[in-house]
Structure 1
Amino acid sequence: MDDMEKLVVVEGLRRLMARYVYAADHQQWDELASLFTPDGTFTPHDTDGTVLIRMEGREEIARALPEGVGSGAVLVHHLFSDLIDVESATSARGIWAMEDLVRRPVPAGCAERGQGFTEMHGYGHYRPRFTRIDGEWRIAELVLTRVRVDVTP
C-alpha cells in the first residue's frame, strides 16, 4: 500500500468517526450502530479502568446506548487529534482524543434522593479497531477510556 492509498484510508476513517459522533449527538442510534461490523463491540470504561458495559453487535449497541443516555438528553461530542495506523488494505487502528457532554433532565423524585445526574462532562480517548468489509470501513471494536469525568447531580 503506497502513501497515497494510506492517506485515502486515513481520511475515510476520520469521516467514519465524524459520522459516529454526529449520529450520537443526534441520537440516531440505528445509524450509529450501522457504522459497526455486525458483530462489532463497544466497551466504555470509567476513569479507574473499570468496564462500565460491553455491548456486542449492532442490535445491542442500538438498544443499550439510548437506555444509558436517558430520555430527553442532549449530547455533544468532540473529536480531536487522532493517531491512525493503517495495518493493511482491510485493517486499521486509531486513537482519538475526545470530549463529551451529556445533559439530561433528572426524573421526578431523583434529585431529592441524590440519584442520577443532570450533566456529565467527560474527557478521554476512543480507541477503535477498523475493518473493511465489501469495500466499506466499519468499526469492529470501539473502546472508550476516560481520563476525567465531571458530574453534576
Structure 2
Amino acid sequence: MTASAELTMSIADQLFAIEQIKQVKSKYAYSADRHRWDDFASVFAPDAVFDESDFPNPLQPYTKDPVPSTVSDYFKQSAEKAEWPLVGRDAILAAHVDLPDDHVMVHHIMDPYIVLTSDSTATARFRFESYHWFPVGRPVKYMHNIGAYHETYVRLDDGNWYIHTFKLERQRVECV
C-alpha cells in the first residue's frame, strides 16, 4: 500500500476499506456464477466502464495446439456482438441478463492487490480462474480462463464501494 496526499483515513479505516473492496469482488463472482444479474450489476458504479474485449486465441487443454476453427469462429462471432467497452451499469446488466441458465460458470478470485489512491478511490488487481460449461448444442462444451482483473473502485455518497473500471486480461483460454 502506498501513501497518498489524498488519503486521510486511519490505518484501521484503510484496512476496512480494502476488506470492503474484497467483498464487492466476491459478490461479483458469486452473483455471476448463480446468474443473479441484478446483484451482479449492483457492484458496478452507475457510470462504470466494463471491458472484456481481451480474448487470446483459445487452445486445446494442456497443450499449445489451437482449437478447431468451429470453436474459434464461435468466439469471434460472439465478440463481434458487443461494442467494447460497455459503459454504465444498465449496459453491463443488459449484456449479461440473457445468458442461458444452463451456461454454468464457476469463478475463483485470488491474490488481491488493492491500493487506496484516496479516501474514495482505489486500484485493484485480482487474479482469477473461471470455468464455463456451455449449453448443449454449442460448438464449445467447456472453457477454462486464467488471467487477471484490473479495476478501479470508487466509494460513492452512500458509503459503499463500487467497481468503476473493469478490464479483463486473459492470459490463457482453453476450450473443448
TM-score (structure 1 length as normaliser):
0.86
Match of 2:168 in 1: 144
Superposed, 1:81-96 pairs within 5 Å as 81-96=111-126
- Higher normalized contact order (CA 8 Å, seq sep 6+, divided by chain length): 2
Distance 2:45 2:14 in 1: 21
Once the two structures are TM-superposed, the CA of residue 6 in structure 1 deviates from its matched residue by 1.1
Aligned to 2:48: 40
In structure 1, stretches of 5+ residues that fail to align are 111-115
**Aligned-partner SS, 1:64:** helix
Aligned to 2:93: 62
Aligned to 2:41, what secondary structure does the other structure show?
A: helix
The 3-state SS of whatever aligns with 1:5 is helix
| Contact residue 132 and residue 143 of structure 2 kept, 8 A | yes
1:104, distance to aligned residue in structure 2 (A)? 1.5
Identical counterparts, % of pairs: 30
Aligned length: 141
Aligned to 1:79: 109
- TM-score w.r.t. the length of structure 2 is 0.75
Query: CA shift at 1:144, angstroms?
Result: 0.7
| CA RMSD of superposed structures (Å) | 1.5
Does the aligned pair in 2 maintain the 1:47–1:145 contact within 8 Å? no
Greater share of strand = 1
Which structure has the bigger radius of gyration? 2
**Which piece of structure 1 moves more, 23-32 or 69-78?**
69-78
Unaligned runs of 5+ in 2: 1-8, 58-78
2:126 is the alignment partner of 1:126? no
